[in-house]
A and B are shown apart, each in its own frame.
Chain A
Amino acid sequence: MTLKREDVKNIAHLARLNIDEGAVDRYAADLSRILELVDQMNQVNTDDVMPMAHPMDASQRLRADEVSESNQRDKFQAIAPDVEIGLYRVPKVIE
């Protein structure tokens, strides 16, 4: 499978990654190589195989809906790039 420049730009947008114009061709080549490797999956028929999401087919544990953690907003916001009065600051989203 070969990716075109447009494909790479589209994928980079999906992944919210800025890709320099000059690096697009290199990514197209590298990602195409990886997808070629991935193509080998089709050598094996899996028509009646159940997909495996967990090694021991365990399911998610449930717990009672009770408060178990305390609020540590100040501590967690201390490592944020930009906060003000307990709020995360980002560029204006709504005009």
Chain B
Amino acid sequence: MTIKTVKDLQMGLAEGQFSSVEITREYLDKIKQVNPQLNAFIHTTEDQALTQAEDADNLIAKGKSQPLTGIPMAHKDIFCTDGIATTCGSRMLQNFIAPYNATVIEKFNAQHAVMLGKTNMDEFAMGSSNENSYFGAAKNPWDTGCVPGGSSGGSAVAVAANLTPAATGTDTGGSIRQPAAFCGITGLKPTYGRVSRYGMIAYASSLDQGGPMARTAEDCAILLEAMAGFDRRDSTSMQQEVPNYQAELNHELAGLKMGLPKEYFAEGLNPEVARGIDEAITEYQKLGVEVKDISLPNSKIAIPAYYVVAMAECSSNLSRFDGVRFGHRCDNPIDLEDLYKRSRAEGFGDEVKRRIMIGAYTLSAGYYDAFYLKAQKLRRLISQDFTQAFDEVDLIAGPTTPDVAFKIGDKTDDPVSMYLQDIYTISVNLAGLPAISIPAGFVNNKPVGLQLIGNYFSESRLLNAAYQFQQHTDWHQQSAEVQA
């Protein structure tokens, strides 16, 4: 099966080279063959997919198609899908059939896109390796002994292994960008408030943001255009017009100023990854980009500040899982407290419990100022670092991750060693900025990700810079197809 981008599929469908049913079948077959090895999907939605594809073909035949009509895609199993299981990677929601659609799903449905299935993820999006999924870890198609990254690991694997042309993800501390980097694909975390969070199961509400994952920046532009926009159902959705992202891809980069934060190239970065990033930056210089050294001095406290904010918000958000209204319920509770405590203990995995407990502790009487308030103050400082940097430069560039994909099981014994994986991605979430990870080479046959960070609502510029890079490199065209 040849690799096709969303753009290729759009053209093929428009020209009648193939039907949506044909390509949907191809992807479903491929998933059936290869998913047992990769565990990228928690479940597929074959019947719905074929019905959607038939409807799409009818619309195309009538000349009534929209940009994504008939395009197959996969959704992270954090997005609620009406009438379809939505597990969030947890035993708690193993049998949860969502009673409504997330806004993102509604938007794709309105264009008659085709949903192939729901992808694997760290439980409640808490993790950087996909190993926290109740349904088992997804495997990195470049080396199935390695993690694909997380939490949107299943989506990254599915795109990298050509099980879908595109997928959705969510990013609270790097959960789109880090798996995109580890799997050699393109993943965009939009500005906070750009994509509706309605129906996206909440982890840390002031940080969570949905975004596209695909092979190319061009595909991400096509998908973001469909996903983005104001939603009255999300109280933090921003009232900002959605630009025509595709129209902005062709701008030349000459004269663009790119900042390299010294903190992102310091100790802890694998020197071979650093070399790959340096080469990518040289490529940008050839395109006329001016490179400048900058500093984001508060980067070092981003990890503790992030985990305090995220865990506090998660303990509050996940209090809704009480064994009463939806989700797992324990057998034979003796009283209401026993019902809560056992349902939650049985339903949640270890990492989720740790985060809920730290969150409950930091929010408990007498500790609020020392933890949550302190973290929110640090968040201001981190955000101000970026504001100052963007006075001098248009974009910030650096590695997405300190190293390439690590072995499955390598970091499961020590939660803190896992948290340190997020060192270059979490500041962006604390500040609410957009950032993209694009393939930029290999170390030991494993992909390296280049991260570009932009100012608020500068997704156009990020996609433009990523697209131009991909016009002059072929890292994004390398294939990790796994044979059955």
Contacts and interface: CB of A to CB of B under 8 A. Distances in A.
A and B together in one complex: yes
B315, B334, B431, B432: residue with the most chain A Cβ atoms closer than 10 Å? B432
B277 interface: no
Given A14-B360, A15-B357, A55 B339 contact: no
Nearest to A16: B340
Nearest to A12: B357
A11 B415 contact: no
Contacts, number: 168
A62 B341 CA distance: 36
A40 B416 CA distance: 13
Interface stretch (B125-133, B210-218, B220-228, B301-309): B301-309
Interface in B306-337: 307-308, 315, 319, 322-329, 333-337
B338 interface: yes
A31 B353 CA distance: 10
A41 B415 contact: no
Contacts of A19: 345, 353
Nearest to A89: B324
B425 to A, nearest CB: 15
A43 interface: yes
A54 B236 contact: yes
Contacts of A18: 341-342, 344-345
A38 B99 contact: no
Contacts of A86: none
A72 interface: yes
Nearest to A92: B335
B415 A33 contact: yes
B326 A80 contact: yes
A15 B356 contact: yes
Contacts of A8: 357
Contacts of B238: 56, 58
Contacts of B298: 44
B375 interface: yes
B376 A56 contact: no
A46 B378 contact: yes
Contact of A55 (B232, B300, B383): B383
Contact of A53 (B362, B376, B416): B376
Contact of A78 (B99, B304, B328): B99
B348 interface: yes
A30 B354 contact: yes
Nearest to B379: A52
Contacts of B339: 90-91
Interface residues of A, number: 50
Nearest to B338: A91
B210 to A, nearest CB: 15
B192 interface: yes
B96 interface: yes
B97 interface: yes
B380 A52 contact: yes
Interface string A36-64: 11111111101001111111101011010
B235 A61 contact: yes
A54 B238 CA distance: 12
A51 B191 CA distance: 20
A49 B381 contact: yes
Contact of A91 (B307, B333, B362): B333
Contacts of A43: 300-301
Given A18-B342, A33-B415, A34-B307, A54 B206 contact: yes
B99 A75 contact: yes
Interface of A: 8, 11-12, 14-19, 27, 30-31, 33-44, 46, 49-56, 58, 60-61, 63, 72, 75-76, 78-82, 88, 90-93
Given A8-B357, A54-B192, A54-B432, 12 more contacts: A11-B357, A14-B360, A15-B356, A16-B337, A38-B308, A40-B300, A51-B373, A55-B191, A55-B192, A55-B383, A55-B432, A93-B336
Top 7 A-B pairs ranked by shortest CB distance?
A55-B432, A51-B376, A18-B345, A81-B329, A46-B377, A15-B360, A52-B380
23 contacts: A17-B353, A41-B301, A41-B304, A41-B305, A42-B374, A43-B300, A46-B377, A49-B380, A51-B377, A54-B192, A54-B206, A55-B192, A55-B383, A55-B432, A58-B236, A60-B235, A75-B99, A76-B99, A81-B323, A82-B329, A90-B324, A91-B338, A92-B335
